[in-house]
Amino acid sequence: MSDLDLLDSAPVADESKILEGLNDSQKEAVSSPLCNALIIAGAGTGKTRVLVSRIVYLISHYQVKARNILAVTFTNKAAKEMRERIGMYLNANDTHHLWANTFHSTCLRLLRAYATQAGLTPGFLILDTDGQNSLVKRIMLDLKMDIKEIKPSEFASRISSLKEKGMRADDFQKRVNYIKYTNKKKSGTIEKLALVYSAYERICNQENSVDFAEILLRTVELLRSNSAIREIQNERFKEILVDEFQDTNSIQYELLTLLAGKNSHVMVVGDDDQSIYSWRGADYTNMKKFLNTFPDVHQYLLSLNYRSTQNILDMANTLIEKNFERVMLKNLKGNNGTGSLVSIFKCANNRVEELSVAKEIQSLKDQGVKLSDIAVLYRNNYLSFGFEQALTKAKIPYVIYGGQKFFERAEIQSALAYLKILVNKKDDTALLRIINLPARKIGPKVVESLRNISNEHSCSIIEAIEYLHEYVSSSDAAKELKTLYSKVSAFYNLYLELLSKKETMRLHEFVHHMLTLTGLYAFYSEKDAKEGKSEEDNSRYKNLGVLVSNVKEFEASVDQGEVSVDSENSAKVEDQLTLYLTNITLVSGGEINENGSAETMPFDCVNLMTIHASKGLEFKYVFICGFESEILPSSRKSSSGDNSLEEERRLAYVGITRAKEQLVISYANARTMFGKNEQKGASSFINDIVESYENSKNKPYKIVTKI
């Protein structure tokens, strides 16, 4: 026996210590025989502890060598946590030889070892997202494609999606040719995509580089085509464990089948009730497929929840039982007591909802609750803005998790830039942002010429254009300056028209008019459409509508005396515009950074995030806002069929199960969008829950009317 074998076989932990503190279901899963296994682990049921304990148990009880174990998860953070927790039980050598990585890290490790066999040169480079976008842009320009019509980032994303489905450029070209042949008509976009994908694949091979999707696809192709290498991996990995299995896509599932040999065992852990990433290619049906693909699968159910009170769990259980496509029915039971009733805030409108939530958070803060223990969740990013304002007004610090603050979003910055040049024509920073947005053929050379004139005359760029406007009307005007003015005259006329209109319209009406006249509405609507976003999916277009609503609310606050203004000039639109821009600058300046830090702000902050971003997290106090018709479930998902509706229900379930001690669900009967009031009302999911308890004396919720 080698020294390595001696080290691998060394005792690592007392078996009783490994199982200590586990409940019966967890013990059964951890100590299961060497077999294929599917563990359905409900929210908050301790799946990470089960995975860690299982790995230690394999080494301690079954004497499986650490180097023969592969544990795969989805994020570097989860992989690191798993390794650290395993390290508390194992000796250093075992920890070193254990494969506990993300899917990408695992595949990259194999590609590094077998680069030549995979068609790569050792030392190949990895393209990050920016690099991928830059390469696609270069290809599109070489092919004389309009990168303003179709963004390179859109094509880069679609190429990644095709790779995740296992489709190479040649395969995609054949598919495009078939579509052309059967439909007898051309589809310009997919034909262009096929050309770009083909060139992209060729150049990546020439430059010996791989993108993230390529790492997975090339590893699958290597194992699929090279039986010798596949057999080595089959012999190496005796025990394979996969976390968050409901989030695997088709290429990841095939990878698993290729890595597992005849004498290997695979244990997958997941919860189909928390499958919310179908838009990223995740396929929760892989859990059912696993039962059919792998022989003699043992099934285990973890349903004892260590996170939430029973009232919260009852809300979650009642909601999710309406889903029919479930691998295994489960009813979460908790060990934290009944807890307080879940509050359902029935709000007259979104403004009432925002203020009510802020007031409730202020009350919690006054009771000594740490703000970091509080989370405000919402279906879409555009819903965050009102809560940002309400919390700012209440002087409650917050951090937006996994997203930008409202006024930092590109489309809002663009809209504000137009407004800024109307009150300060010396603001070249604002002007340079939008002089060619949307595109109006004012390229870098034109801008450089304008800047040269402004430097010569010590004036702003707008003043340089004014100078050109006056000069070209004279008979001795130079031809090149006339040509330069002809390229910027449309923008200058737009600027003059906006100056005129802002003096005759209410501020919110003017902002809406500006967004239409400048083409920002149309530009961002097209941008959303090209990226496959609807109004419900955090669209830029809808964010512009939220801006109009915010301006209207600002006007109302001025009229009600909530914002101080010079009474002599308060009726002037330009003065209100200046006041508005000043007000939002102060609000934005008081916000903390996305990472939660700021020199002048405390670290204890309320967490704002989408429900998607909250998966895997937990908070003592949770507010799920905008829980209403056409938002959750979204109108688009509701009309897409039962599968989409079930995923929306799973999304709501994930939100509810983030709460540990107190949960507030809120909805508005009316919501202001694009300056107009839209009638909303309670989500059908709320109605389902209320209907389920119609004749019950022990309801887990209470309805609180807010007006």
The CATH number of residue 661's host domain is 3.40.50.300
Q: Is residue 89 located within the same domain as residue 233?
A: yes
658 is catalytic: yes
Residue 594: Cβ within 10 Å count: 14
68: DSSP letter: G
CA distance 254 to 203: 27
Q: Of 302, 325, 343, at which residue does a domain stop?
A: 302
The answer to whether residue 27 is domain-embedded is yes
Q: Is residue 27 located within the same domain as residue 155?
A: no
Q: Is residue 565 located within the same domain as residue 609?
A: no
**Catalytic member of 48, 189, 285, 404:** 48
Q: Is residue 441 located within the same domain as residue 554?
A: yes
116 is catalytic: no
Cβ-contact 269, 50 below 8 angstroms: yes
The answer to whether residue 645 is domain-embedded is yes
**Catalytic member of 239, 244, 360, 388:** 244
Parallel/antiparallel/unpaired status of strands 209-210 and 125-126: parallel
CA distance 108 to 317: 40
243 is catalytic: yes
Mean pLDDT by 10 residues, the chain (707 residues): 43 72 95 96 93 94 94 83 84 78 88 92 75 86 90 92 94 88 70 95 84 94 97 96 94 96 96 88 90 95 96 97 90 95 97 97 97 96 91 92 73 91 83 92 91 87 90 78 91 95 92 95 88 65 89 83 49 66 58 32 81 93 95 74 86 97 97 83 95 93 95
Residue 686, token pair as written in the block = 């709320």
pTM for this one?
A: 0.75
Q: Is residue 198 located within the same domain as residue 129?
A: yes
Domain of residue 142, CATH code: 1.10.10
Reference 427, options 454, 449, 405, 390; nearest CA is 454
Q: Of 302, 324, 359, at which residue does a domain stop?
A: 302
Please tell me whether residue 561 adopts helix, strand or coil conformation: coil
The answer to whether residue 582 is domain-embedded is no
Cβ-contact 201, 170 below 8 angstroms: no
CA distance 607 to 609: 7
**Catalytic member of 102, 274, 657, 662:** 274
The answer to whether residue 586 is domain-embedded is no
The answer to whether residue 616 is domain-embedded is yes
Q: Is residue 555 located within the same domain as residue 450?
A: yes
Q: Is residue 319 located within the same domain as residue 390?
A: yes
Residue 429: Cβ within 10 Å count: 10
The values of phi and psi at residue 477, to 5°, are -65, 135
Q: Is residue 520 located within the same domain as residue 463?
A: yes
Single-letter amino acid code for the residue at 192: K
Q: At what angle do helices 479-501 and 444-457 cross, to 10 degrees?
A: 90
**Catalytic member of 8, 211, 239, 243:** 243
The answer to whether residue 672 is domain-embedded is yes
CA distance 489 to 511: 22
Boundaries of domain holding 433: 408-575
Q: Is residue 396 located within the same domain as residue 426?
A: no
CA distance 635 to 625: 17
The answer to whether residue 288 is domain-embedded is yes
Domain count of the chain? 4
Cβ-contact 660, 307 below 8 angstroms: yes
Supply the DSSP string of 102-140, one letter for each residue.
Answer: EHHHHHHHHHHHTTTTTT--TT-EE--HHHHHHHHHHHH
Q: Is residue 663 located within the same domain as residue 612?
A: yes
Reference 147, options 535, 491, 527, 532; nearest CA is 527
Reference 413, options 441, 434, 391, 386; nearest CA is 434
Domain of residue 427, CATH code: 1.10.486.10
333 Cβ contact list (under 8 Å, min separation 6): 303, 304, 305, 310, 313
The answer to whether residue 580 is domain-embedded is no
Residue ranges of the annotated binding site for ATP are 41-48
Residue 466: Cβ within 10 Å count: 16
289 is catalytic: no
Q: Of 268, 285, 302, at which residue does a domain stop?
A: 302
Q: Is residue 498 located within the same domain as residue 559?
A: yes
Residue ranges of the annotated binding site are 41-48
Q: Is residue 481 located within the same domain as residue 388?
A: no
